[in-house]
Amino acid sequence: MKELVKEILIGKEATSLNKIISLIQNSGCKVVSFDIFDTLIKRNLRSANDIFKILEFEFNQHFNKSLPILLLRKKAETNANENSSNEEVSLDEIYAEFEQISEEERKWLRNQEIFLEKNFCQRNRRMYGIYNWCLKNGKKILITSDMYLPLEIIKDILFDAGYYDYSKVYLSNDQKARKATGSLFSIMLEEERLNASEVVHIGDALKGDYLVPKSMGINAILIHRDDSDTMYFNKKVLMSKNLEIANNYNIVNSFIRNNMNSNSSFFEKMGFEIVGPVLYGYCKWLIQKLKEKGISRVYFLAREGFTLEKAFEMFRPCGISYHVIRVSRRATALPLLYRAKSLDDILNRITVTRANFTIQNMLKSCELEQENIDKILSVIESNPYDCVYALSDHQKKKLFDKVYPYIKKISKQQEEYIRGYLNQFEFNGKIAVCDVGWHGTIQNALQDIFEENEIYGYYIGKKEKRAKEKVKSEAFLFDNNYNKWIMREVMSAPDLFELFFLSTDGSARKYARDVSGKYYCVQAKPEQSEESAEDVIDLQNAALKFVKEFKKLDNAINVQMNSCVCEAAFSAFINYPSADTIKHLKEFSFLNVESHSMVAQHSFGYYILRPKNFVSEFLNNGSKSIFLKSVLKLPLPYISIIDFLKKFDKQQ
């Protein structure tokens, strides 16, 4: 009840940040006093006590013990306050009361607590603008806060966050007086020779920053702590029994909350919160894998590779060269088609969509010239719009005999050209190829073309179609035997997941050589509209912004960016797609599958009357959870529904 009343009062009295400057101006005051924590400074944790949770985990790992450090630390602070004649105690006084630990452990804990506090703190970005406005407008700035950390540590935290040019810090444990009793404000007013009415104080604590100073005649401004959850907060991961996962997700999610621009678009928020952690975790994992294998040359497979390479570059890995190479399933299949022994061999190599794949589709996929396509179609018995899979064995053989001479010529030439193109990037020896993933089709093809190379594949996710793969590959988020629940979530919407990383230019079609002898990639036309492409770019730029900004925190404390932590936001997003998500994704389509949308094009009533249409559209959709949400609207367990409906898919 006490907390409820407190929240009601805060909601009633708190001032929005965009009104603070006008309140300062209207007060006519020349002195502005700021609280520190949750005002000028934010911790990249959900609560102050989370520091002690992390301290407990690290202590027990470091000393190979199992002590309840969180409870012991809180008890030590309570005892220190009870045994002190002063209003506030210092960190040293708290640690003097710490029980069940040795002097060595006491020293380690104290130093580690200071280390964590310094590195988890960052500026409150919105309050930073108000602070700078005060400086530019000639306001004298004082900092007044209740805190047990030493004054020099508080000054370091403020300096690291970019707070300079304040006049003085009035700290409770330094002055042995607290805001909540009014004593700290009295000392500040006396030392500064100020009347209470000459000061504006800004803070987030109802009593210490608002009710008490206001009762003393100080112009007090109460602000919200802004502890609202992120768009895709995953409570299940935060409450994980695995403390390492829970602690590290707490850090990542809190960092997102503290650094997300409130004016960001829907796609920018998706990029920063969902894609950024995946991108960051993958790059950190990749660097470790490259070191383990002693690989010094890395090739990112475009189109998704452009985004991966930009993130990788921010890590500045020493001794590793890296390039983006333009490849695709289609462009790497062509150089191998001359090895085909049958029409089925050709179909297994080229990219075949789930749609009705006709003879005409197949001939175009093999990059035959139109005049040659016309010649072939004029002599075969089958209709060019017949589905290739519906042909009899006899028809397939006749078609293969007619097509193979043309395909062999193109394929041999493409083998020469792709080797020339990739050799321009020193594509030889022991190397790594990197991509978003799934079946490793491109790596398989490259290994067949460059049999002399030792190629390792490193993917975000991997789902092998065959029981055994001849290529060497690993994945960060999941594979057939690892994190199967993550696989279910990502593969419920693979088109959407790929879109997160996909560059907006066209896919690689084939390779050519110019008059100077230089090899280059011939690209298809872009698949998205200009408007959709801009949204994708905004999403990717926001993801890269996360990578750049999170790296500073990670460099200090080495966050364990495991797959569960990095995929947590996507899990929340894809298991419970929102109405807002459906609205924003409605315009996207994928032209490689006869132009289908991620979102259903008809209503629930339409599909009730036409169940076959529903099943057909569902099975052909590459973002099934989004499709189902757009039809059913309700907050249902869509991943489980997808597993059930897939039983009707005979081609699985």
Starting at the edge strand found earlier in the chain, the sheet holding 297-302 runs: 321-326, 297-302, 430-438, 454-462, 472-478
Alpha carbons within 13 angstroms on the beta-carbon side of residue 228 total 8
Q: If DSSP states are collapsed to H, E and C, what string results for 564-585?
A: HHHHHHHHHHHHCCCHHHHHHH
**Which pLDDT belongs to residue 108?**
97
* Phi, psi for 424 (deg, rounded to 5): -65, -20
CA distances from 81 to 76, 94, 206, 603 (A): 9, 8, 21, 64
Alpha carbon 261 to its chain centroid, in Å, reads 15
In terms of Cα–Cα distance, which of 25, 287, 264, 299 is closest to 138?
25
Distance CA 435, CA 432 (A): 10
On whether the pTM is more than 0.85, the answer is yes
- To the nearest 10°, the Cα dihedral for 453, 459, 463, 469? 20
Q: Tokens 């790497």 map to which residue?
A: 332
DSSP conformation letters of 517-544 = S-EEEEEPPPSS-HHHHHHHHHHHHHHH
Enumerate the β-bridge partners of residue 478: 461
Number of other CB atoms surrounding residue 89 within 10 Å: 22
Alpha carbons within 13 angstroms on the beta-carbon side of residue 154 total 22
In terms of Cα–Cα distance, which of 259, 223, 22 is closest to 133?
22
Alpha carbon 212 to its chain centroid, in Å, reads 42
Which distant-in-sequence residues (6+ apart) come within 8 Å of 530 by Cβ? none
Q: Tokens 């041999």 map to which residue?
A: 412
DSSP conformation letters of 330-358 = HHHHGGGGGG-SSHHHHHHHS---SS--B
- To the nearest 10°, the Cα dihedral for 344, 345, 347, 348? 120
Distance CA 166, CA 32 (A): 10
Instruction: Indicate the pairing of strand 454-462 with strand 472-478.
Output: parallel
510: which 2 tokens? 């084939």
**Which pLDDT belongs to residue 595?**
45
Q: Which residues of the chain have pLDDT under 50?
A: 354, 467-468, 590-595, 650-652
3-state SS, residue 165: coil
**Which pLDDT belongs to residue 593?**
39
357: which 2 tokens? 């794949």
Alpha carbon 608 to its chain centroid, in Å, reads 37
**Which pLDDT belongs to residue 587?**
67
**Which pLDDT belongs to residue 364?**
86
The percent of residues in the chain predicted with pLDDT above 90, rounded, is: 71
**Which pLDDT belongs to residue 14?**
64
Please check whether residue 359 is in contact with residue 379, taking contact to mean a CB–CB distance below 8 angstroms.
no
